């Protein structure tokens, strides 16, 4: 099939590369000339494992192209995916101005039937708005609108795309459903040739729904996962008060097949460009339809409080923070990404600086991005440089590099043997035995 992907962010780029990988002709369009220039040179504007090799392979084999011109993408394709950003406005509502702009450009340029697919995370009923906009343009061209939400995790996005746990398609007729079914058939039948296939499940559910339900599935899924994290973080606070261990509580809960262990890791909370923004957007759109989603407001409140809880623990260990040096390990919102958007590290550092502490940081891949955001911090070349002379070492992101730290060496470098673990990566008994003052979350 001939496909156009508009927007070359994390979602657009991974989607484009993967659709090319399963045999389609794909043109990825973005109005950012610098980004397209970088991609044409074979360089990636983001860090995502395996993306560079996949893009290179598909460009070399003549299936993947880049352009700054929407008209080129529209004229060469029958299926157009919208994967532009939907960032939060000040009130938390999703800003759909890029979606609207792109749709107007598609409507102006289409000369034959197009299937236009929402891939960006959008609030429910966006598909209806897009339909109205196309009708307003009165281009007399035949079109369908579909919603096909993505469930890609940064750091394993390519694996998630090629090995999804479900494919959701929201459509208004069989024609649109059949096109998308055919497009995804190599993934469902697993008939594509990729070295990236791994841990396969036997059956991938393909769920075909109406437009509104597909749009809601995305917001509801992310909000539900966010709620699981805030739930376990609330339980962590109770564990601390009563002398229980949240890791054990989560383990005991997770054996229940109705609960499952995933997303029950207590810590400094969730970040990234999906959970915080989708949660806010879901609360806002629910409000617009006169539903006060108080449950999700509490999920958000608990999460926003996590960095403060972590800093409180540092204070409990050090008493006064002024002029103390705090070493931070991990800046990205989670391991295996350089993404700093809504990363808890930003608020943790902000709170420490408000108390006039000195901050040293290290992250295996996010330091270049961090330099654009953080002010007055010292960057270490490795965890040990950060530990050296610090009054406390704080784990904010659970990179595997930190799990494998030489703890004896770390202890000898620290000014005082204090580790505050925002991700519960160490065993408290072992840390105590090694002579650390070890503070974790909910243990
Ligand atoms: C998420 C969804 O998982 C994905 O399906 C969606 O399409 C995009 O949003 P992503 O933002 O890449 O993906 O990260 P994810 O791995 O889900 O983690 C989100 C945040 O939750 C991270 O900050 C992580 O550290 C935190 N988290 C996760 C916890 O604090 N505890 C957990 O148990 C799990």
* 272 CA → ligand 1 middle, Å: 7
Mutate to test the pocket of ligand 1, among 214, 228, 334, 340 (most ligand atoms within 8 A of CB): 334
pLDDT at 203: 75
Enter the tokens of residue 435: 């002579």
Q: What is the pLDDT of residues 48-71, one digit of tens each?
A: 999 999 999 999 999 999 999 999
CA 321 vs. chain centroid, Å, equals: 32
Mean pLDDT of the chain: 95
* 172 CA → ligand 1 middle, Å: 31
pLDDT at 140: 73
Longest dimension (CA), the chain: 75
Residues of the chain with pLDDT under 50: none
Question: What Cα–Cα distance (Å) separates residue 339 from each residue in 249, 359, 367, 404?
Answer: 30, 20, 10, 22
Query: Going by CATH, does the domain composed of 2-209 fall within 3.20.20.70?
Result: no
pLDDT at 97: 96
How crowded is residue 435: how many other Cβ atoms within 10 Å of its Cβ?
A: 11
Are 254 and 261 in contact, with CB atoms under 8 Å apart? yes
C-alpha gyration radius of the chain = 23
User: Following DSSP, what letter does each residue of 191-241 receive, concatenated?
Assistant: -S--TT--S--S---EEEE-HHHHHHHHHHHHHHHHHHHHHHHHHHHHHHH
Residue 182's SS3 state is helix
pLDDT at 202: 60
Enter the tokens of residue 131: 């339909």
pLDDT at 137: 83
- Could you give the residue numbers annotated as active site? 274
Every domain range in the chain assigned CATH 3.40.50.720: 2-209, 245-439
Q: Which residues line ligand 1 (CB under 6 A)?
A: 150-154, 222, 229, 263-265, 267, 269-272, 274-275, 333-334
Q: What is the pLDDT of residues 337-387, one digit of tens each?
A: 999 999 999 999 999 999 999 999 999 999 999 999 999 999 999 999 999
Compute the Cα dihedral for 360, 365, 367, 372 and give only its sign: negative
pLDDT at 165: 94
Residue 70's SS3 state is helix
Q: Among all chains, which residue has been given the structure tokens 């395996």?
A: 50
CATH class of this structure's domain 245-439? alpha beta
**Atom number of ligand 1 nearest to Cα 266:** 31
Q: 334-360: buried (b, 16+ CB within 10 Å) or exposed (e) per residue?
A: bbbbbbbbbbbbbbbbebbbebebbbb
């Amino acid at each position: 099939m001939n496909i156009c992907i508009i927007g070359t962010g994390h979602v657009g780029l991974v989607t484009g590369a993967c659709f090319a990988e399963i045999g389609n002709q794909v043109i990825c369009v973005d109005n950012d000339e610098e980004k397209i220039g970088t991609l044409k040179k074979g360089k990636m504007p983001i860090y995502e494992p395996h993306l560079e090799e996949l893009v290179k392979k598909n460009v070399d084999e003549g299936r993947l192209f880049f352009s700054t011109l929407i008209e080129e993408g529209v004229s060469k394709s029958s299926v157009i995916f919208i994967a532009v950003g939907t960032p939060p406005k000040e009130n938390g509502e999703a800003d759909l101005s890029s979606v609207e702009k792109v749709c107007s450009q598609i409507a102006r340029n289409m000369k034959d039937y197009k299937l236009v697919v929402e891939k960006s995370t959008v609030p429910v009923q966006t598909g209806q708005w897009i339909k109205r906009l196309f009708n307003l343009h009165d281009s007399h061209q035949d079109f369908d609108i579909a919603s096909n939400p993505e469930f890609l995790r940064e750091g394993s996005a390519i694996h998630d795309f090629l090995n999804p746990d479900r494919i959701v398609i929201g459509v208004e007729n069989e024609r649109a459903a059949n096109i998308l079914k055919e497009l995804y058939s190599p993934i469902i039948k697993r008939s594509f040739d990729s070295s990236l296939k791994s841990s396969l499940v036997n059956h991938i559910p393909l769920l075909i729904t109406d437009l509104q339900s597909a749009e809601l599935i995305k917001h509801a899924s992310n909000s539900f996962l966010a709620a699981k994290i805030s739930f376990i973080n609330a339980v962590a606070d109770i564990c601390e008060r009563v002398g229980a261990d949240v890791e054990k509580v989560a383990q005991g809960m997770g054996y229940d097949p109705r609960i499952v262990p995933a997303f029950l890791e207590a810590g400094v909370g969730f970040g990234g460009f999906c959970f915080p923004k989708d949660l806010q957007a879901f609360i806002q759109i629910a409000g617009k339809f006169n539903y006060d989603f108080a449950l999700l407001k509490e999920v958000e409140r608990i999460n926003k409080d996590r960095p403060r809880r972590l800093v409180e623990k540092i204070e409990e260990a050090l008493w006064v923070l002024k002029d103390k040096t705090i070493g931070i390990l991990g800046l990205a919102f989670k391991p295996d990404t350089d993404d700093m958007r809504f990363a808890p590290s930003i608020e943790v550092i902000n709170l420490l600086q408000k108390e006039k502490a000195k901050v040293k940081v290290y992250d295996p891949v996010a330091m270049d991005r961090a330099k654009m955001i953080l002010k007055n911090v010292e960057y270490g070349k490795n965890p040990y440089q950060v530990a050296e002379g610090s009054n406390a070492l704080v784990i904010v992101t659970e990179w595997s590099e930190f799990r494998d730290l030489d703890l004896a060496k770390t202890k000898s470098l620290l000014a005082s043997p204090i580790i505050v673990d925002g991700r519960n990566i160490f065993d408290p008994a072992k840390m105590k035995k090694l002579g650390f003052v070890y503070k974790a979350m909910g243990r």
